[in-house]
Structure 1
């Protein structure tokens, strides 16, 4: 994970990029882009093609532009899904977040891309591996995928119940029946004992701190994708109010957008 992150601040809307995805126009935008929608932000990445997004519902359904109207402003009229995957060049796919993890994936051989909204519920449902499987069905190979996780709430400050942590953690144990069968308390103890643990202690009884991005990284590693093909942004939405909206911090329904363009 030696790739660097850069702020593009020479436009009206600042956004974060990573050299891991330098071949693809992409950006993790900040609160300064609110209330602009992807059809406007798409222009900041270059080009004037359509922007595709879905109605996010914290699930694991994946759609393609063939399932979506382009540049549609009415969210309630969009099909429900939490990942959008390209099927042709110059398709811009987008997700919005306000503590959940925005994940952008690109294929170095096919040029196809995907944008994923991975909150704890979607992560528990394996939204990232599900999307990768659909990319594989479309011709991708794991060795050719590059994955970037943008700004999200950090595990050090994300307090959840032990049950939620266990529910998310079970997404890592599908191949180990003995671990999957543990009760919530013992499963969380197992996760806390891992190297670079995705679950951290909390002083409040029945609570722990959950690192959703680390869970996703472990899911990706479990598929066989090398760590050097995965990047995690060094930014926390909860702890950086000057840059990001955080639903956990303010309970406001405001978001920042993340998008990537296929090539």
Structure 2
């Protein structure tokens, strides 16, 4: 029986029941882009960690058995997309999965979720950062924020960046193996910028006017759109512009609907724009 008659993305991330982030956001976005989303949960949350209380279940010890069942079905993936990986063991499991499932037609998109605001997350050890460094070498597209780009390249973090400096950081990331990188969350006055770098020499700083405050799940939305567009053959810069504008509209909608910051963005209201 052939289970490979439709484009598929293996999406490896945590599952959060409430708060609009991770797999709960990525699955509908990917589906809307006419690609089958095959989720791999790394952990299960009732609601994300931005809330005062939440239930958490670590899925690490189940991940390989879960993935092995897909081998029996001979599933083939046009995309493999990774999000937050919470332990050294999870990074190693994902690395092995990529090695076993990447073919000439597979695009690997890695969001190296390690930190923000100039600091790595408290749960991230130096050894985990080193393993993420090695995982990025297996990627085709990488979507770090500016903090994570600095961690990957051993660059000192700062608030203001010239395009030449962004070019240097991006080149260092692409020299690891990826052909495309977009550094997200670069603040310039009234703009939030994303810097696109491609090994073919193309670069572009894409600016979007700031609106509202940072919200959970927007990075997951961004990575999902980039992944789907890559698989659907859409130009990288056009894809980054589309993702940036979509997220801005989602934040504007959240403000309009008075959605609490913890609850993410009401992207469901705007899926027709994708």
Higher relative contact order (CA 8 A, sep 6+): 1
Which TM-score band applies after superposition, normalised by the shorter structure? 0.3 to 0.5
Normalised to the residue count of structure 1, the TM-score between the two structures is 0.33
Q: Which has the higher helix share?
A: 2
Normalised to the residue count of structure 2, the TM-score between the two structures is 0.32
